[in-house]
Amino acid sequence: MSTTMTTADVPAPAPEERRGRLPRWTARPVAAVLSGVLLFLSFPPRPLWWLAVPGFALLGWTLRGRRLRAGFGLGYLTGLGFLLPLLVWTGEEVGAGPWLALVAAESLFIALACLLVAAVSRLPAWPVSAAAAWIVGEAARARVPFGGFPWGKIAFGQADGVFLPLAAVGGTPLLGFAVALCGFGLYEAVRLVRTYGTTGGLPRGPLAAAALSLFVPVVAASAAQPLVSDAAEDGTATVAAIQGNVPRLGLDFNDQRRAVLDNHARRTEQLAADVAAGKTPEPDFVLWPENSSDLDPYRNDDARHVIDEAVGAIGVPTVVGAVVTPESGPLRNTLIQWDPQDGPVATYDKRHVQPFGEYIPMRSLVRIFNKDVDRVSRDFGPGTEVGVFDLAGTKVGLATCYEAAFDWAVRDTVTHGARLISVPSNNATFGRSEMTYQQLAMSRVRAVEHSRSVVVPVTSGVSAIIRPDGTVVRESRMFTPDALVAEVPLRSSMTPATRMGTLPEAALVALAAAGLGRAAAGAVRRRRSATA
C-alpha cells in the first residue's frame, strides 16, 4: 500500500528556519556577550572610549524587564564578553587556567550588578538606579576576595573621553556612573521613541528622564572642566624615569643574575653623561621601576656598589625598586630612596601585594590545579606605611604597580602631602600584551582625579610622564631602554574627589539601594493586587 503526501501534510518551516536566522531566544544572550565586547573595545590601547556608551545601551536592552535569574545569567555572559579579552594577559606566562579562573570569578560580580539592573529596570527613571547598580558591582569587585581586583573599572577606559573631568569631582565611581548612565539613558530614549513615536503622544515625563540621563553626564563633565588644570601651584620639578629593560620576557625575566640591575644602572649612567654634555636637562630626582634591582642591595654588596655608582653619577636622589629578602619572614616589594652621598635613607613596602602573583592564598588547594604556584616559593608580605618620599624638596607619593588600580592606595599619598605621584611597575611577566596600556590609562585617570603629575617608570613596558590634566608628555616604547626627562608642574590643592574619598561611591551605593527598595515595594504591591 502506498501513501501520498500533499503539501498540506508538510509542516511549514518556522519563520527562523525560512529566513536562516537564529532562534529568537538567542537574541538576548548574544546581545549580552556583545555588550561586554563593546566595553572591552572601549579600553586602551584602542582610542574607542565612546564604545562604552552603546555597550551600556545594548546592555539596557538586554536586561530591561528581565527576571532576576535571567538578569544574573545574562550579566554573566556580559562579564565573559568583557573580561575574557580584557584580562587575557593574566595567562601570558602561566597558561589559560589562571586566566579563565580569574575571569569566571570576576564575572560573578558583573552578573550580580546586572541582576540589580534587571531588578530596577521597570522603575520610573530607571537608568539612574541601573547605573548606580553597576557601581555596586564594581565596589564589591574592588574589595573581595583577597582585597579585591578592580582592574576593568569602566572609568579606566575613559582616559581620552569627554567624561574624564568627572574623575576630579567624584573619582572613578562617579566617572563610571556617568558612562553607564549615559548608555542606559540612550537606550531608554530610543525605546520610548520607537514605542510611541509612530503613534504620537510621547510621554513627556519618561522622555524627559531619559533625555536627562543621556545629556546630564556630558553637561556635568563639561562643567567640571575647570577642575582639570596643569598650572604649577608649587613650582615645577624636572623628573627622570628610567626604563632599563630586561634580558628576557616572562616569569624568568630576572634569572640572569644582576642583568636587570645592570640595565637600569647603565641607562642612568648614560643619562648622567647626556646631562654633563648638555644634551638633556638635569633632573631633580630619578625614578626607577619596581623590581629594577634583581638583587637585594641590603644583602648583596655588589648590588649596593652598582646602585651607588649609578646614583653617584647622576648626583640626585633616586628611587630604586628591589625585592628585599630578610633571613626570615616574608619577602618585601620595596622602593628605596637612595641618596648620592648617604645611600639608602628611606623605604616604602608595597601595601597591597598581589594574590596568586606575590603570595599564594590557599596554596595547597591551588597547587592541585596549577603547579606554577610553586614558582612563588616564598610569599611577599604587605607594608603598613603610606609611601611619600621627600626627593630634593618635592614630596612624591608612591603606588607600586598593582596598587594604582585601588582608589585608596593612590588617594592617601595625596592626603599625606604628595605633590607628585609615582607608579613604578614591572610588566616583564606580561610580555607584549595590552596590560601596560591598561595600566598607563589608570595613571592618566589618577592624574586628573587628584590633579597631580604622575610618573610611570616601567622595567620593559610603556613608561610615561603625565601632567595633571592627564596628557602624556613623554612615553617610551615597549622593551626599549630609555630615560624620559620632563619638567612637570607641582600642585598642592585637593580636588573634590580627593577630599571626599569614598563618599561618592557610598552615595551611589545608597542610590542603588533606594532603587532596589522601591522595586521591591512595587513587586509586593503587584503581588497583592493579583491575589486580591
| pLDDT single digits (tens) 152-166 | 999 999 999 999 999
Reported pTM: 0.92
**Which of 8-22, 178-192, 371-385 is most confident?**
178-192
pLDDT of residue 369: 67
Amino acid at 356: F
Phi/psi at 348 (5° precision): -135, 120
* pLDDT-derived band at 431, boundaries 50, 70, 90: confident
pLDDT of residue 199: 66
Please state, in angstroms and rounded to a whole number, the distance separating the CA atoms of residues 392 and 64.
57
Helix (H) / strand (E) element for 73: namely helix 68-86
Q: Which residues contact 288 (CB under 8 A, 6 or more apart)?
A: 242, 244, 264, 268, 318, 319, 320, 321, 424, 457
Q: Which candidate, 322, 320, 344, places its Cα nearest to that of 333?
A: 322
173 SS3 class: helix
pLDDT of residue 17: 46
Sheet with 453-456: list strands edge to edge.
388-391, 394-398, 420-422, 453-456, 464-466, 472-475
* pLDDT-derived band at 320, boundaries 50, 70, 90: very high
Averaged over 228-236, what is the pLDDT?
96
pLDDT of residue 16: 45
Burial annotation 299-333 (CB, 10 A radius, 16+ → b, else e): ebeebbebbbebbbbbebbbbbbbbbeeeeebbbb
| Residue whose C-alpha cell is 568583557 | 82
Higher pLDDT, residue 41 or 460: 41
CB 476 within 8 A of CB 482: yes
Amino acid at 29: P
Q: What is the CA radius of gyration of the chain?
A: 26
Cα-based distances in Å from 395 to 27, 186, 421: 55, 44, 9
CB-count burial class (<10 Å; 0-12, 13-18, 19+) for 473: middle
Q: Active-site positions?
A: 290, 350, 401
pLDDT at 198 over 70: no
Please state, in angstroms and rounded to a whole number, the distance separating the CA atoms of residues 267 and 213.
51
Amino acid at 472: V
User: CA torsion, points 485, 487, 493, 497, in degrees to nearest 10?
Assistant: -40
What is the rounded average pLDDT for all residues in the chain? 91
DSSP class per residue in 96-139: HHHHHHHHHHHHHHHHHHHHHHHHHTTSTTHHHHHHHHHHHHHH
Query: How many other β-carbons are positioned within 10 Å of the β-carbon of residue 57?
Result: 24
**DSSP strand E in 219-352: where?**
236-243, 285-287, 318-324, 332-339, 343-349
Higher pLDDT, residue 502 or 427: 502
CB 523 within 8 A of CB 123: no
Please state, in angstroms and rounded to a whole number, the distance separating the CA atoms of residues 370 and 128.
43
